[in-house]
Chains A and B, each alone.
Chain A
Amino acid sequence: AQKITQTQPGMFVQEKEAVTLDCTYDTSDPSYGLFWYKQPSSGEMIFLIYQGSYDQQNATEGRYSLNFQKARKSANLVISASQLGDSAMYFCAMREAGGNTGNQFYFGTGTSLTVIP
């Protein structure tokens, strides 16, 4: 089974509007971390936001917030007030605390976001 599932290959949003990028995850580990990264066309991976499995509140970082629904195993990224510079690929990732692979991250297949002026 896929550890991270992103079901939206591509999304469009009007500038200044909010957009939600979906992410569901699969783990039996009670302790895990969820991450979102942005990858512009330049190729670099930019860390956006982190949510720990034991965090009581949803993480927020500026215009980014993570809608964490633990029972549904979803960790959707919400971008408010979209800007043209938000156009990029967005990857959801998970790190499990257990296992013998140290700090291995599992990445989803990504969502391509296009912001329309």
Chain B
Amino acid sequence: SAVISQKPSRDICQRGTSLTIQCQVDSQVTMMFWYRQQPGQSLTLIATANQGSEATYESGFVIDKFPISRPNLTFSTLTVSNMSPEDSSIYLCSVAWARETQYFGPGTRLLVL
């Protein structure tokens, strides 16, 4: 496995603003993913963060709303843009080596007022 950290761990934001969440891994990983978990719900995959190229988004998620960067094999960011209260969720990054187990970061709890 790996040690995965996320910043910030939680935040309270005003609607219309943007928040960038960072995910740092202590070793190089093949795959990095971003998930959203709305209150009381299961996890929904937002996108796969691709190193050196544009992220691959799942249905219902677009780059303008959730821009993602992955400049190297240990780091990725997710931005939640033009936030509304509906964006209040836990955002989790996960990592995997090839098609193996995904390991998750501690999550970022976001509340949008």
Residue contact A44 to B101, C-beta cutoff 8 Å: no
Chain B residues numbered 36-71 whose CB sits less than 8 Å from any CB in chain A: 37, 41-43, 45, 48, 56
Q: Looking at the complex, which one of B42, B48, B90, B100 makes contact with A91 (CB distance below 8 Å)?
A: B42
A43-B90, A95-B99, A102-B48 as given contacts; A108 in contact with B106, CB under 8 Å: no
Chain A residues numbered 9-53 whose CB sits less than 8 Å from any CB in chain B: 33, 35, 37, 42-47, 50
Chain A residues with CB under 8 Å of chain B are 33, 35, 37, 42-47, 50, 91, 95, 97, 101-105, 107-110
Residue contact A91 to B106, C-beta cutoff 8 Å: no
Residue contact B96 to A103, C-beta cutoff 8 Å: yes
Residue contact B96 to A44, C-beta cutoff 8 Å: no
Q: Looking at the complex, which one of B41, B98, B101 makes contact with A47 (CB distance below 8 Å)?
A: B101
A84 nearest CB across to chain B (Å): 21
Task: Report how many residues on chain B are interfacial, defined by Cβ distance under 8 Å.
Answer: 25
A91-B42, A102-B48 as given contacts; A44 in contact with B105, CB under 8 Å: yes
Residue contact A37 to B104, C-beta cutoff 8 Å: yes
Residue contact A44 to B103, C-beta cutoff 8 Å: no
Question: Which of chain A's residues have a CB closer than 8 A to the CB of B90?
Answer: 43
Chain B residues numbered 99-113 whose CB sits less than 8 Å from any CB in chain A: 99-107, 109
Question: Which of chain A's residues have a CB closer than 8 A to the CB of B103?
Answer: 47
> How far, in angstroms, from A107 to B104 measured CA to CA in the complex?
14
A91-B42, A107-B42, A108-B42 as given contacts; A47 in contact with B107, CB under 8 Å: no
B55 nearest CB across to chain A (Å): 12
